[in-house]
Amino acid sequence: MSRASDKAYDTIRSMIISGELSSGDALGEEALADMCGVSRTPIREALRRLESDMLIRKTESQRSFVADWSLDDIEDVFELRAMLEGHAAQRAAGRMTDEVLQKLREFNAIIGKAVSKSSPDVDVFLEQNRAFHALILKTAGSQRLETLLQALIEQPVIWRTAHHYGDDELRRSHQEHDELIAAFLRRDDAWAGSIMSGHIRRAFHAYADAHRGLAAIDSGKARKSA
C-alpha cells in the first residue's frame, strides 16, 4: 500500500470511529480526496480496506456509505470479544510479570481519578482503558489473537455513545479492572479469564443502554424537526 493510501485510510477510519462520520453517511471520492489531501486513487484503495474492515458498505451502484451497525451486529462482536479477550486474559495470567502488573495499576489509577470526578472525564477513560486492554493482549503473547481482536475492538466502539455511558458504568469498569489485577497477581488463569469475559459482557449491556438512549434522543430530534 502507498503512503497516500495509508494516510487516507487512517484519516477516514478515525472519522468513522470518532463518530465524525455517522452510520449511513455517503462517502464521495472527490470530497474525501480533498479532505485527506490525496488523489482519488488512494481514496479507492482506502475504501476497499475499510470495506474489508466492515466499516463501510458499497451499494450495487458502487457508492460507498458508512456501515450501519444494528444492536444484533454489535452483540455478535461483543460475544466474540468476550471469548477472545477472556482467552487472552488466561494466557496473560501465565505470562504476567511484576513490571506489567505495575503498569496495569498505573493505567487503572488514572482511570479511577477520571471516573471519580463529579463529571467523569470520558476521553481519559477511553484512552487509558484502551491502553489497559492492549497491554493485557500484548502480554498474552499471541500475534494471531492480537490481529483478530484489533479488528473487533474498534468496530462497534463509537465515541459519541461512550460519552453517554452512565457514571456508575464507568466506575464499575474501573472496579472490574482491579479484580483483573488481583487475578493476575495470583497468576490465576481461570479467574482472570472469567473476569474478563464478564467484563466484556457487561460492557455490551452498557453500550446497549447508551445506544437505546441515543436512538431515543435522535428520534425526538427528528419529531421536532418534522
What is the distance between the alpha carbons of residues 216 and 82, in angstroms, rounded to a whole number?
28
The DSSP call for residue 117 is: S
Q: pTM for this structure?
A: 0.77
Last residue of a domain, one of 66, 90, 118: 66
Question: Does one domain contain both 113 and 198?
Answer: yes
Q: Could you read off the pLDDT of 17-63 as tens digits, one per residue?
A: 777 888 889 999 999 999 999 999 999 999 999 988 888 999 888 89
Write the single-letter amino acid at 148: L
Q: How far is CA 100 from the centre of its chain?
A: 22
The domain total for the chain is 2
Q: How much is the mean pLDDT over the chain?
A: 87
Question: Does one domain contain both 30 and 130?
Answer: no
Q: Could you read off the pLDDT of 55-106 as tens digits, one per residue?
A: 899 988 889 999 877 788 888 888 999 999 999 999 999 999 999 999 999 9
Range of the domain at 169: 71-223
Q: Could you read off the pLDDT of 101-153 as tens digits, one per residue?
A: 999 999 999 999 999 999 999 889 989 999 999 999 999 999 999 988 877 76
